[in-house]
Amino acid sequence: MQIFYVTLAALAPVAVLMWYIYRKDSNQPEPTRLLIKAFVYGIASALLTLAVVMPFGMLTGFGQELSSTISGAFTDAFLMAAIPEELAKFVMLWLLLRNNPYFDEHFDGIVYAVCIGMGFAGFENVLYLFDNYESWISVGIARAMFAVPGHFLTAVIMGYYYSLWHFRIVRNRRTCALILAGPILAHGIYDGILFSMNIDESLSSVFLVLFLLFFNKLRKIGKNHIAELVNH
């Protein structure tokens, strides 16, 4: 029975955020089958990331041990998490939307990107909670508050710029670059600060404050992007 509760704890925050973004798409909601497909693509992006990161880590040594320096923490954050994860999500978003006739509204880019991001987050959450089975409640609460919303917010950034480019709202090199660079930077800084909290106990409170400030900044950016395109 506990396996059921752990799985529920892992997927509940994902379901809540998917429902939130679905409700925002009230004008012409996307077909449920395509949202489920996007979620499955998100799981595929997580598997693709594992297939790349694990061999890379074993060959190079990156991510095998916790870094002892702040620069090392940020290097690990970008090379082992932000870049491969966001790149895998982008590939799945492109595959899903390249010939999708339902991708016909500006807000749709955010909807599909979020569903892919939540597929990734759901798969990752299940792994984390079962890997920390003895403390799954505390881990589940922490990830529901920060990790899952973090994937949600980077997905909003990716979908926002994807729509700006696709619908020619703002079609320039900067917009094209930010489709991928935006979520990578957000994800890398997020994880880099988080990883740095474990390096020096005397600085952990400083990094905690920085993390909360940065997370709040991401939340505001995501909120503004959603508000801009949902009424566009």
Q: Which has more pLDDT, 63 or 195? A: 195
| Share of residues in the chain with pLDDT > 70 (%) | 95
Q: Does pLDDT of 54 surpass 80?
A: no
Please tell me the distance from the alpha carbon of residue 47 to that of residue 210, in angstroms, as a whole number: 31
For the chain, the structural domain boundaries read 2-230
Q: Does pLDDT of 88 surpass 80?
A: yes
Instruction: Give the helix/strand (H/E) hosting 177.
Output: helix 173-196
The full length of the chain comes to 232
Nearest to 148 by CA among 167, 130, 129, 164: 129
Please tell me the distance from the alpha carbon of residue 222 to that of residue 226, in angstroms, as a whole number: 6
Residues 6+ apart with CB under 8 A from 32: none
pLDDT of residue 81: 94
pLDDT band at 28 (very low <50, low <70, confident <90, very high): confident
Mean residue pLDDT across the chain: 92
Contact of 25 with 108, CB cutoff 8 Å: yes
Q: What is the dihedral of CA 107, 111, 117, 120, to 10 degrees?
A: -160
pLDDT of residue 231: 77
Q: Can you tell me the mean pLDDT for 126-148? A: 94
